[in-house]
């Protein structure tokens, strides 16, 4: 009889503790979040608005208000060299080597690639934070940085499919 009483008391205490803890958790879930982005307490503003406010403050900030300018739209002209316009899609066939200029970035989108290097050094896999030595496999969709010329990528030996590579910077195909 005493044992069943102890078990029942333990069940009630544990159940009561869990129930109390769940009530405290419900109250604490939203306690730390008072300002959601985009609300009146935390408005979203444009860079041009912030720049104008800084300029007004530096000039003595008269009481006049100015309207923020619209953000610039991306240009599709040939003279603007923004980051997206520098990117090129390059297909590398088996037997070819895609050699990068110093500072060039690659992203292998499709195919099985390996690192090509004329010396014992390799390239930087910025996604994993590792160096990949010549002859080792490249993981698709990782950002690769070529610190010096004479390094590149090629189709893995034995593979008959092309590589599809996004290139930012200078390159040549050998």
Q: What is the pLDDT along the chain (174 residues), one digit of tens a residue?
A: 667 888 888 888 898 888 887 777 665 555 555 666 667 667 777 888 888 888 888 887 555 555 555 555 544 444 444 445 588 888 889 988 899 888 888 888 888 888 888 887 888 888 888 888 888 888 888 888 888 888 888 888 888 888 899 998 888 888
What pLDDT sits at residue 67? 53
Closest CA to 123 of 91, 162, 153: 153
Question: What are the CA-CA distances from residue 81 to residues 41, 48, 77, 87, 89 (Å)?
Answer: 38, 22, 9, 10, 16
All structural domains of the chain: 86-173 (2.60.120.10)
């Amino acid at each position: 009889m005493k044992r069943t009483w102890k078990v029942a008391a333990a069940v009630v205490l544990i159940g009561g503790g869990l129930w109390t803890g769940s009530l405290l958790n419900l109250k604490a879930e939203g306690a730390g979040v008072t300002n959601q982005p985009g609300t009146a307490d935390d408005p979203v503003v444009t860079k041009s608005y912030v720049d104008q406010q800084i300029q007004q403050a530096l000039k003595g900030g008269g009481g006049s208000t100015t309207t923020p300018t619209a953000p610039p739209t991306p240009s599709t002209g040939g003279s603007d060299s923004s980051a997206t316009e520098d990117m090129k899609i390059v297909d590398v066939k088996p037997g070819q080597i895609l050699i990068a200029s110093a500072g060039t970035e690659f992203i292998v989108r499709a195919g099985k690639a390996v690192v090509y290097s004329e010396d014992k050094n390799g390239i930087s896999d910025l996604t994993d934070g590792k160096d990949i030595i010549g002859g080792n496999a490249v993981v698709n969709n990782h950002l690769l940085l070529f610190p010096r010329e004479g390094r590149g990528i090629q189709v893995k030996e034995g593979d008959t499919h092309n590589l599809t590579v996004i290139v930012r910077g200078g390159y040549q195909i050998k």
